[in-house]
Structure 1
Amino acid sequence: MGQILKRLQELDPVCRGLGGTSSSQNSNGFPDLSQLPPELGLAILSHLNPTDLCLAACVWQNLANDELLWHDLCKSVWGYVSVYSHCRHAIGFSYRRMFLQLDEASLTFNGDPFEGVEYLIHYELVDDEPLEIAKFLHTAKNLLPEKKREFLDRRRDVLAHLLKLQNFERMFLPNALRQFFAEISAPNDRDGFLAEVIDRFSDQFTSCNPSLGLSKDAVFLLCYSLIMLSVDLSSPHVKNKMSKREFIKNTCRATAEVSNDLAGHLYDNIYLIGHVAPQTS
């Protein structure tokens, strides 16, 4: 109860201002939520995390097990799972039980991503379709990026759908790369998987920014140039760092679609902000 009381103490001024009285407070000065209007009790409990909400259920079982609270918790962590569209009319369905299953699935995924996806499919949380799996990976907030990369390396069909879900509209190319590689760790080696990732990324980036005036091939070359520049500028083993003039010269020579100004802005972004694809494992 220590965590619950601490959280309620933070909310105590609100409770006092919204109807808490000495008759509805316990000996510790905290209101008995069962004595408050149900909507107020739910509003207070909505500030708790899943662990604290389970603790609260030991005292206020009906309130803390309310489906609305657990529905909101599920959506806050897993933005999309197939079961959301299937569960409305299921007999005996419980968002609290689903939260625990999704939490177990995420923990399993972060240990072995393939077992994690098998768990999701076995318990009918996610449909066994590439797009449905991609939507889950894209919206889940508690999955390790390096485990996503491990899974997608073998499930290129899911990778294709995942790239289509990305929104890079009006984003500067290095920032779009950072956003994507924050969701999915960049491959450790410059192998075929990295090439496919960059190829699909370039296709989606140009689709999101048709007015940019760059072809998919130009974006593809720029992505590799930015990754190599990032390594060059961030690695302590590289003593002679590439200069801005050298980068502009090499980039504009590789593709005539890139102006000197654009190449210069790209260099400045990497120099000031850092690596577009930092390794996480």
Structure 2
Amino acid sequence: MGQGLWRVARNQHLQQEAYGETGYLSREQSRRVASSNISHTSHRKQAQGGIDIYHLLKARKSKEQEGFINLEMLPPELSFTILSYLNATDLCLASCVWQDLANDELLWQGLCKSTWGHCSIYNKNPPLGFSFRKLYMQLDEGSLTFNANPEEGVSYFMSKGILDDSPKEIAKFIFCTRTLNWKKLRIYLDERRDVLDDLVTLHNFRNQFLPNALREFFRHIHAPEERGEYLETLITKFSHRFCACNPDLMRELGLSPDAVYVLCYSLILLSIDLTSPHVKNKMSKREFIRNTRRAAQNISEDFVGHLYDNIYLIGHVAA
């Protein structure tokens, strides 16, 4: 109670001083003076309790006034690690401040290989004046050109020495790149069957369940929107590749590439049936087993049932 009376007397004294200096203080101004003193007192009480909020806020304000951390003051390894998280646009902006650090070849090399996993030029001796930053710009330009016209895009890469004129090299580039437009890529692969052959051989389906392997295949090589010769070609190539990757499983199940072809076609039709909103009467598991075994009689009923469950639970194989 004594402390409370002391605060009241102190506030009255401060108000009198303010009145003497200004001649007159409004009630609102007096209230502000009193509240500021109460706030100051609360800060002091918190400091006595072991948590000095006032000093914490003051320290935070001083850090904000200091601005961002200068990467040049850090060890080079730490600075490069921080900059490695930036994309190409942000790295270019960072080079305006930290020119030597942000233009380092290791950073741009990492950007190139994380976006375009394979290029023929990676395995060659770099020419005089070679720069990974310049290479990144060329790869980006070539990808945009490919997405507009695939033939022109591949020609651009070859003219810059980025890709060799080889179906295998082009297939590796496509397999390791995720910036290419899938519709344009589908058109290109339909015209370049030699590249398609090498692209299929890059897939490893060992010990994969058939529907999951088919999904992975169609993630890299997108299926056409309509049935036709190109879809049949894709399924045929996949069937042979799947059998080549799983010879023991094929012998155990008694499956041939032709039988895998039938199963793949059945899985695609089942995917459409179960996922399409236009199909009201969905195919049952019993119907799928009966229809599939009618086309491929050597396949066990349990194996076909597991195929149905996979599509029912996970979804379309060629979405």
Instruction: Letter of the 1:276 partner, please give it.
Output: V
8 Å CA contact 1:26, 1:32 repeated in 2 = no
8 Å CA contact 1:145, 1:182 repeated in 2 = no
Alignment match, 2:148: 111
Are 1:266 and 2:303 matched, yes or no?
no
**Aligned-residue CA RMSD (Å):** 1.5
Alignment match, 2:169: 132
Cα deviation, residue 254, structure 1: 1.0
The count of aligned residue pairs is: 253
Q: 1:56–1:27: structure 2 CA closer, same or farther, 3 Å change rule?
A: farther
Partner Cα distance (1:268, 1:40) in 2 = 50
Alignment match, 1:239: 280
Residue 163 of structure 2 aligns to a residue in which SS? Answer: coil
Listed as ranges, the gaps of 5+ residues in structure 1 are 1-24
Q: Describe how 1:122-271 pairs up with structure 2 within 5 A.
A: 122-213=159-250, 214-271=255-312
Alignment match, 1:63: 101
Residue 277 of structure 1 aligns to a residue in which SS? Answer: coil
Listed as ranges, the gaps of 5+ residues in structure 2 are 1-62
Partner Cα distance (2:156, 2:123) in 1 = 18
Partner Cα distance (2:126, 2:223) in 1 = 41
Cα deviation, residue 199, structure 1: 0.7
Cα deviation, residue 141, structure 1: 1.9
Partner Cα distance (2:213, 2:183) in 1 = 18
Residue 67 of structure 2 aligns to a residue in which SS? Answer: coil
8 Å CA contact 1:46, 1:69 repeated in 2 = yes
- TM-score, length-scaled by structure 1: 0.86
Which of 133, 136, 149 is equivalent to 1:96? 133
Cα deviation, residue 146, structure 1: 2.3
Residue deviations 1:37-81 (CA, integer Å, cap 9, x gap): 222221211111111101000111111010000111111111101
Q: 1:199–1:28: structure 2 CA closer, same or farther, 3 Å change rule?
A: farther
| Percent identity for Structure 1 against Structure 2 | 59
8 Å CA contact 1:131, 1:158 repeated in 2 = yes
8 Å CA contact 1:82, 1:127 repeated in 2 = yes
Partner Cα distance (2:126, 2:167) in 1 = 25
Would you tell me which structure has more helix in proportion to its own residues? 2
Q: Which has the higher contact order (CA 8 A, sep 6+)?
A: 1
Instruction: Letter of the 1:273 partner, please give it.
Output: I
237-246 or 128-137, larger mean C-alpha shift: 237-246
Cα deviation, residue 258, structure 1: 1.3
- TM-score, length-scaled by structure 2: 0.76
Instruction: Letter of the 1:43 partner, please give it.
Output: T
